[in-house]
Chain A
């Protein structure tokens, strides 16, 4: 259940250079977004692009409202203004997606 996805906002130039990125363009990294049920979606993203765009693209893809899901990197919530650069993300790193948790009693 995994598929490769070009983030729609990466510039045309980047898409043309897809082969270069495969061989390790330092400006772009591959990010794996893993849902709570284990489904994976792959994105290619510039290090300086705000992750907000990736999160929006993911939510769009899985058909969920971006405000109802939580994106975590190393267990910490990603904020809208974070970039792969600001989070010091590395190539092939994982972003976890979690849904709302509620609790009151053990069933």
Chain B
């Protein structure tokens, strides 16, 4: 503001005075005259548009400099990236080609945020030129375009996921090929992924049993992105809730002040690690008897504790038993104890013991989709978390209700998805 009032200012309307508060106007076609202070951003915009035009031939300076609405670029984008027919023999290569183009475009377009920030800062310092207005419209349009391309990416992903769910054999072939392709890669290949090696990655292969590194990788990643769910590591349940930390079969019969201290320290460390300040739900993976994965969830908003197990026998048989004889009853008691501690750490009071007025629902054998095989429980456990993060509880509904996220009888499509997500993260 002080610069504007400066007596040295030489802005003259009428005659074309080439200095605007001591800054020189320069020509920058097709924008016309621009202020030298932000000429660099103009050039960046032009480069950005040029790079995008390589992917989107319809993009012209004229199109970008007219005010547009959100759906403005929809049709043009649909023509450039047509819906894929997903022919079985070339589904992956079609998907991969289109996805790479879209990702490249998103990478280019996301530069606009930084350009915008600098540009807006600069026009606050001089009197706005007509070219500045044009540039602002172009920036807004590029942002709209980015938005459109991102939804294009989501819908492409969604149709790919549906294809995988509907064609498990195809997904299995692709996953096998992927494993073969990645196997010879050196250790260097994995250096961007914390704690993951080919050995861990290969447990995502068809019919394999998932290991702790894979489960922990996705819990850490998804929960730190969620901002709502505190996901524990696969080692937490063993150390804090069970008598034997390796087998996790018998829930601790006695919980001491020292156990409480251990929980508090684990929670503090975990919050720090996931960078979560406020959470209202907790996810606990459980590794049972060295052979099985299942999970527990505490939700402070829904006031629920659920234990999710993809084994049909465990769920059906135990639901018919009296509560005191159900497999997970003692574990549920420990989870109730844990809930009280976690509540006090959240600055809340929850009293579940000897409290007849309590409105919490505790289900030791929640109904979830079952695994019809002897290898998918790890994928189910990760998918429980996926549903918790997407829908707040595990949803066993059909494909239409949970588009792209529904459980399938063979989870091989999800395995391929997880494997591809990991390989994608490796490049970040």
Contact = CB atoms under 8 A, between A and B. Distances in A.
Interface of A: 36-37, 67, 70, 72-77, 79, 96, 98-107
B311 A76 contact: no
Contact of B209 (A67, A70, A98, A104): A104
16 contacts: A74-B266, A75-B265, A75-B266, A96-B235, A98-B238, A100-B213, A101-B287, A101-B290, A102-B291, A102-B378, A104-B210, A104-B293, A105-B209, A105-B292, A105-B311, A106-B311
5 smallest beta-carbon distances between A and B, as pairs: A104-B209, A75-B266, A104-B375, A105-B374, A101-B212
Given A75-B266, A102-B291, 13 more contacts: A73-B269, A76-B233, A76-B266, A77-B195, A101-B211, A101-B290, A102-B203, A104-B293, A104-B375, A104-B376, A106-B314, A107-B289, A107-B292
Interface string B225-260: 000000011111011100001100000000000000
A79 B291 CA distance: 26
Nearest to A106: B292
A100 B203 CA distance: 12
B322 to A, nearest CB: 22
B268 interface: yes
Interface string B310-333: 010010000000000000000000
Interface of B: 194-195, 197, 203, 208-213, 216, 232-236, 238-240, 245-246, 262, 265-266, 268-270, 273, 287-293, 311, 314, 371, 373-378
A75 B209 contact: no
Contacts of A77: 195, 216, 233
B232 A70 contact: no
A54 to B, nearest CB: 18
Nearest to A68: B199
A36 B377 contact: no
Given A75-B240, A103-B378, A70 B235 contact: yes
A75 B377 contact: no
Contacts of B213: 100
Nearest to B270: A76
Given A75-B232, A77-B216, A103 B273 contact: no
Contacts of A100: 211-213
A75 B235 CA distance: 6
Nearest to B247: A36
A67 B211 CA distance: 14
A103 B194 contact: no
Contacts of A72: 233, 235, 239
B61 to A, nearest CB: 50
Contacts of B195: 77
Contacts of B240: 75
Nearest to B309: A106
A74 B235 contact: no
Contact of B212 (A67, A70, A105): A70
Contacts of B287: 101, 103
Nearest to B293: A103
Contacts of A106: 288-289, 291-292, 311, 314, 377
A102 B265 contact: no
A107 B291 contact: yes
B200 to A, nearest CB: 9
A86 B262 CA distance: 19
A31 to B, nearest CB: 15
A73 B377 CA distance: 27
Contacts of A70: 212, 235
Contacts of B374: 104-105
